[in-house]
Structure 1
Amino acid sequence: MQSDIKRLSLILLFAPFALWILLLIILPHLGMVVLSLREKVAPRVYEFGFGNYIDFINEPIYWNTLLRTGSMSILVTILALLIGFPIAYYIAKIAGRRSRGALFLLCLIPLWVSDLIRAFGWILLLRETGVFSSFLQWSGMVSEPIEFLYNDVTVVMGLVYTVILFMIVPLVSTLDGMDDAMIEAGYNLGGNGYTVLRRIIVPYAMPGIVSGCIVVFMMTAGSYLTPILLGGKNSSWFTEQIYDQFITRFNWESGAAFGFLLLAFTSFVVWLGLKLSGQTLANTVAKS
């Protein structure tokens, strides 16, 4: 009787999560795969095949954009790690208990507003008549307005600002569990700061590093608003291609194929990253 009650309680606890996974993740993705395999041969006449994927392969602009999105997302992930790791280490190991809450609050502030508002904030700062350009003219450094927007550097800056919190949180969670005696032992054995970082801190924090990189990379590759608003017409992001297929061309079949290709590509990059780092997804999630 007691085992039945425990089993029922377990089922009731996991039922909402299982339904959420099934209804909002599994079924939509299955529907997207089926839709991507439909080829339009005549008005309202479809047959199953790989024509949408063949069209993607035969058009260089599509797969070049996908590869460019992947490389830019990797760059954003690396920059977020380089910036976020010192911040996370300071919060977890150096800052006092009272100041940790305030520091986390500062990291959370960007999430209080939507991606759209954050992007327009960058536009107000970087546009031709924005704060930076006006300051440079006022200080006499330049004689005419400068347009800082609509380039890759601006897009990368906006994306790093958007996703860096998702790098900091798992790093803080992992580093917080590291015993300070390990660091002290490294110094006592003759190691310098670089040696302790390379041989003690980074290996211990690797699960948090990998989990943070996975989240940041997936969010960056799937971003739409920030690359479009900050990159303008010069932006070349694969999510724009997906939007164009769905909304502009009303070609849902190609849009579904492009969406599945983006998912497959990012999943492959994550798998490759796990292999290169020697981590497993289960251990990474469990320890971070």
Structure 2
Amino acid sequence: MLQKDFKRLTLYLLFAPFALWIILLIILPHIGMVALSLREKVAPRVYEFGFANYLDFINEPIYWNTLLRTGSMSLLVTALALIIGFPIAYYIAKLASNRTRGALFLLCLIPLWVSDLIRAFGWILLLRETGIISSFLVWSGIAGQPIEFLYNDAAVIVGLVYTVMLFMIVPLVSTLDGMDNSMIEAGYNLGGNGFTVLRKIIVPYAMPGIVSGCIVTFMLTAGSYLTPILLGGKNSSWFTEQIYNQFITRFNWEAGAAFGILLLLFTSVVIWLGLKLSGQTLANTVAKS
């Protein structure tokens, strides 16, 4: 009996840091955000319970248009990251040698060694009017004058795809690494071509990794702030900028909290729809990646 109680106590002690992390850094802050978003200011330092902050969002087209725009561009970034990352992940998992695999993983990790701010400024050095790409085009005679590649949606998408690529590749490699090569050989032996084997064997097997990578990539993209602001400027509105403006510029914490909750709900609904359409669940995607 004493040994059983000791094992139970050990389990509690091991689980306690994780439980505290979940409660203190995730659950309680979100509860506080919900409570703050439901405070309606009726007079200086006088608040009442109400949904005025959410009604302000609904009644102002620029807010929900920006949210929908952020969602659509996040889906585009996720799709591009999947299209680019899947061949890389397949090569790392099934074709590369052990030494090459480690080197490729290191190349994928290098961008994470610096902050988002430094990476964004790196893209600014490349894409600005006097940057490396524009100067090369002028020097080679391809362009007659300097070209400004910054401050548009294309620059934001490029920067975001670069930022989230690793989070797409890692779950794909983890899933594809467990696939038996004999499954691919059987597909070819049964008369299938490369596209058929990819569509009927490789992609269905990798679906948990695909969905897991898409979930993480979409959430990171929709919640990004620095990259859209620095690379897109005023020409590329992002919903996180609206949240920042409410908190910092307008000192309207109640509206900022409401916008934050709406962004969380919106991304959760998109992920739920994605899981339904793909036939996957969180248990066999994120939990296994």
Q: TM-score, normalised by structure 1?
A: 0.99
- Structure-1 residue corresponding to 2:126: 125
Residue type matched to 1:87 in 2?
I
The Cα offsets for residues 132-172 of structure 1, whole Å up to 9 and x where unpaired, read as 11111111122211100000001000000000100000000
Q: Give the C-alpha shift of residue 285 in structure 1.
A: 2.5
Residue 41 of structure 1 pairs with residue 42 of structure 2: yes
The equivalent of 1:51 in structure 2 is: 52
Q: What CA distance in whole angstroms lies between the structure 2 residues aligned with 1:139 and 1:258?
A: 47
User: Using the alignment, how far apart are the partners of 2:141 and 2:36 within structure 1?
Assistant: 58
Residue matched to 1:245: 246
- Deviation of 1:233 after TM superposition, in Å, equals 1.1
Residues 94-113 of structure 1: matches in 2 within 5 Å?
94-113=95-114
Give the letter aligned to residue 83 of structure 1.
I
Q: Which runs of 5+ in 1 are unaligned?
A: none
String of CA shifts for 1:208-262, please: whole Å, max 9, x gaps.
0000000000000000000000001112100000000000000000000000000
How many Å apart are 1:286 and its aligned residue?
3.5
Matched residue type, 1:200? I
Residue 36 of structure 2 aligns to a residue in which SS? helix
Q: Secondary structure of 2:195's match?
A: helix
Q: Which residue of 2 aligns with 1:156?
A: 157
Q: Secondary structure at the match of 2:285?
A: helix
The aligned amino acid for 1:110 is P
Secondary structure, in 3 states, of the residue corresponding to 1:164?
A: helix
How many equivalent pairs are there? 288
Unaligned stretches of 5+ residues in structure 2: none
Query: Could you tell me the percent identity over the aligned residues?
Result: 86
In the alignment, the residues of structure 2 paired with residue 145 and residue 87 of structure 1 have an alpha-carbon distance, to the nearest angstrom, of: 33
How much has 1:283 moved relative to structure 2? Answer: 1.3
Say what the alpha-carbon RMSD is for the aligned residues. 0.6
DSSP-derived class of the 2:192 partner: coil
Q: Match of 2:262?
A: 261
Equivalent positions of 1:226-237 (< 5 A) are 226-237=227-238
Q: Secondary structure at the match of 1:40?
A: strand
State the TM-score, normalized to the length of structure 2.
Answer: 0.99
Task: Return the alpha-carbon distance in structure 1 between the equivalents of residues 71 and 234 of structure 2.
Answer: 19
Q: d(CA) in 2 for partners of 1:144 and 1:279?
A: 51
Which residue matches 1:78?
79
